[in-house]
Amino acid sequence: MAAPPDNDVLWARALHVTHNGSPALTGVSIGVREGEILAVGGPRGSGKTTLLQCLSGQLLAEQGEVWFNSAPVHTMSPMKRERLRRDRFGWIDPAPVLVPELTAWENAALLLMLRGVSRRRAKTAALEWLDRLDVGGCARKRPYALLQSERQRVAIARALAPAPSVIFADEPTAPLHRADRAQVLRTLTAAARSHGITVVLATHDADTAALADRTVSLLDGRRVNTVHLPPAAEPPEPDVPTGPAETEGRAACSLSA
Q: Which residues bind ligand ATP (CB under 6 A)?
A: 19-20, 24, 42, 44-50, 202, 204
The H or E element spanning position 226 is strand 226-228
Q: Report the 10 Å Cβ neighbour count for 196.
A: 10
Question: Whose Cβ is closer to ligand ATP: residue 20's or residue 194's?
Answer: 20
Spatial distance between the Cα atoms of 104 and 37, rounded to a whole number of angstroms: 27
At its nearest, how many Å lie between ligand ATP and the CB of residue 237? 19
At its nearest, how many Å lie between ligand ATP and the CB of residue 31? 20
Question: Whose Cβ is closer to ligand ATP: residue 162's or residue 221's?
Answer: 221
Burial bucket for residue 30 (CB in 10 Å: 0-12, 13-18, 19+): buried
Question: Whose Cβ is closer to ligand ATP: residue 22's or residue 77's?
Answer: 22
DSSP 95: S
Q: Are 84 and 68 in contact (CB under 8 A)?
A: yes
At its nearest, how many Å lie between ligand ATP and the CB of residue 65? 19
At its nearest, how many Å lie between ligand ATP and the CB of residue 20? 5
Question: Whose Cβ is closer to ligand ATP: residue 134's or residue 220's?
Answer: 220
H helical segments located in the chain: 48-55, 78-88, 104-114, 119-132, 148-160, 178-195, 206-209, 243-251
Evaluated on CA atoms 246, 248, 251, 254, the torsion sign reads negative
At its nearest, how many Å lie between ligand ATP and the CB of residue 250? 9
Helix 148-160 to helix 178-195 angle (10° resolution) is 10
Helix 178-195 to helix 119-132 angle (10° resolution) is 130
At its nearest, how many Å lie between ligand ATP and the CB of residue 68? 20
Question: Whose Cβ is closer to ligand ATP: residue 151's or residue 204's?
Answer: 204
For residue 3, CA distances in Å to 7, 71, 80 come to: 12, 9, 19
Question: Whose Cβ is closer to ligand ATP: residue 15's or residue 126's?
Answer: 15
Question: Whose Cβ is closer to ligand ATP: residue 7's or residue 29's?
Answer: 29
At its nearest, how many Å lie between ligand ATP and the CB of residue 129? 26
Residue 203: beta bridge partners?
A: 41
